Amino acid sequence: MKLATWNINSLTVRLPQVLDWLAANPVDVLVLQELKLTDDKFPTDQFAQAGYLSHSFGQKTYNGVALLSRTPATDVVKNIPGFDDDMARVITGTVSQGEGDGAQSIRVVGAYFPNGQEPGSDKFEYKMEWLKGLRSWLKEELVKHPRLLLMGDYNITFDDLDVWDPEGMRDAIHCTDEERYQLNALIALGLTDSHRLFPQPPKSYSWWDYRDAGFRRNRGLRIDHILVSQALKAQVKSCVIDKTPRKNERPSDHAPVVVELG
């Protein structure tokens, strides 16, 4: 079973690329971030024709997330219960792994974490509060659903390995101690970074700035993550960042990340 996350930076612009990618990479589950459209404009039919059922949680202009799956997702929840939020950032659902008597359910949380803009700003404070809200809810969610993945655009790097210029970006947004403390507090709930379970190419990133030939020069950050709960950790067979679509014309600035469960 394969599950993927991808910040596509406008589904209106990127829909053909997402459909192409799914045709070439027929994953079982795909969570999307930054749809930048409302639910009435979500291309449900086109994903259905591609073999995917979808749940969207969009808003105008900014944010917006979706959960696509080959088999129906159940118990779908939008945003973080217990945390008041104007923005559409989280979509959660339960999907089935396997069929028949051996089938087991998996809880998938797809999330678009706040950017934070700049340490000390109002948006940074919102990011911190959002992260605390997420953790508080996830703690309970893990009790109800021990087999859980948290995947999406975290907008946080773990450490220097995730940053193309660690010295230049010291204490910059995505790299501050405060953000990393919150990320490690999620890890402390019993989650594991799938990426680091396996040998990875050096300087593996999931986002590159559009400006200044960031992708060509591999000036990037690893900010898109797939965290798995303790109950799923032993089943993780691979975790790969797919840079292929970043080479498209008019690409998203993010690459998809794919995890395989055995």
Is there a binding annotation on residue 153? yes
Measured from the Cβ of residue 35, the count of other Cβ atoms closer than 10 Å reads 28
Active site residue 205: no
Query: Which position among 51, 60, 160, 248 is part of the footprint of DNA (CB under 7 A)?
Result: 60
Measured from the Cβ of residue 19, the count of other Cβ atoms closer than 10 Å reads 16
One-letter amino acid at 56 equals S
Of the residues 28, 52, 145, 153, only one is catalytic, namely: 153
| CA atoms within 13 A of residue 223's CA, in its CB half-sphere | 26
**3-state SS, one letter per residue, for 56-105:** EECCCCCCCEEEEECCCCEEEEECCCCCCCCCCCEEEEEEEECCHHHCEE
Active site residue 153: yes
Interaction residues for DNA, span 220-259 (CB under 7 A): 221, 223, 250, 253-254
Active site residue 112: yes
Of 91, 99, 37, 98, nearest to 68 by C-alpha is: 91
Does 12 participate in binding DNA (rule CB under 7 A)?
yes
Is there a binding annotation on residue 34? yes
Query: Which position among 22, 163, 173, 191 is part of the footprint of DNA (CB under 7 A)?
Result: 173
Of the residues 174, 195, 225, 254, only one is catalytic, namely: 254
Tell me the C-alpha distance between 52 and 108, whole Å: 16
Query: Which position among 7, 69, 182, 194 is part of the footprint of DNA (CB under 7 A)?
Result: 7
Tell me the C-alpha distance between 90 and 45, whole Å: 22
Does 114 participate in binding DNA (rule CB under 7 A)?
yes
73 or 223, CB closer to DNA?
223
**Site map (CB under 7 A) of DNA, residues 127-166, x = contact:** --------------------------x-x-----------
Is there a binding annotation on residue 254? yes
Is the CB of residue 242 less than 8 Å from the CB of residue 167? no
Q: Tell the smallest beta-carbon distance from residue 195 to DNA (Å).
A: 16
Question: 3-class SS at 133?
Answer: helix
Q: Which residues bind DNA (CB under 7 A)?
A: 7, 9-10, 12-13, 34, 36, 60-62, 114-115, 117-118, 123, 153, 155, 173-174, 207, 209-212, 221, 223, 250, 253-254
